[in-house]
């Protein structure tokens, strides 16, 4: 076994620090890209959620309007029924249901 060490075989503190810094920089770049990608996906999800909520709000508003119209219509029908019954009683007409 040869124990001859050449200058190329020696790893210095500066060399290790340089390699560590290069690794750290590459890791930082990789993580930065990944976080950017995750943020883009979250932004896209936020936009979809906002559209969904807007659509849902519009449907609920329409449904509320329909329910109010139905209530009004039911009251109107009941009032008309009372009128018809009153007219039938006063004229002596028998109503059949």
Per-residue pLDDT of the chain (97 residues; tens, 9 = 90+): 556 777 676 778 888 999 999 999 999 999 999 999 999 999 999 999 999 999 999 999 999 999 999 999 999 999 999 999 999 999 999 998 8
What per-residue confidence (pLDDT) applies to 87?
A: 96
Torsion angle defined by CA atoms of residues 87, 92, 93 and 97, in that order, rounded to the nearest 10 degrees: 80
Q: Is residue 32, in this structure, part of any structural domain at all?
A: yes
Q: Is residue 7, in this structure, part of any structural domain at all?
A: no
What per-residue confidence (pLDDT) applies to 4?
A: 73
What per-residue confidence (pLDDT) applies to 11?
A: 78
Cβ atoms of 88 and 95 closer than 8 Å: yes
Cα-based distances in Å from 39 to 27, 29, 42, 44, 73: 18, 15, 5, 9, 50
Q: Is residue 34, in this structure, part of any structural domain at all?
A: yes
Q: Is residue 63, in this structure, part of any structural domain at all?
A: yes
What per-residue confidence (pLDDT) applies to 1?
A: 52
**Total domains present in the chain:** 1
The boundaries of the domain holding residue 28 are 12-91
CA-CA distance, 63 to 65, in Å (whole number)?
A: 5
């Amino acid at each position: 076994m040869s124990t001859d060490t050449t200058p190329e075989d020696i790893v210095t503190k500066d060399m290790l620090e340089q390699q560590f810094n290069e690794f750290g920089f590459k890791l930082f770049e990789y993580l930065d890209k990944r976080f950017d990608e995750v943020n883009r996906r979250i932004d896209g999800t936020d936009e979809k959620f906002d559209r969904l909520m807007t659509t849902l709000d519009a449907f609920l508003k329409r449904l509320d309007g329909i329910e109010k119209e139905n209530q009004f219509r039911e009251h109107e029908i009941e009032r008309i029924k009372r009128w018809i019954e009153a007219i039938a009683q006063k004229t002596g007409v028998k109503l059949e249901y």
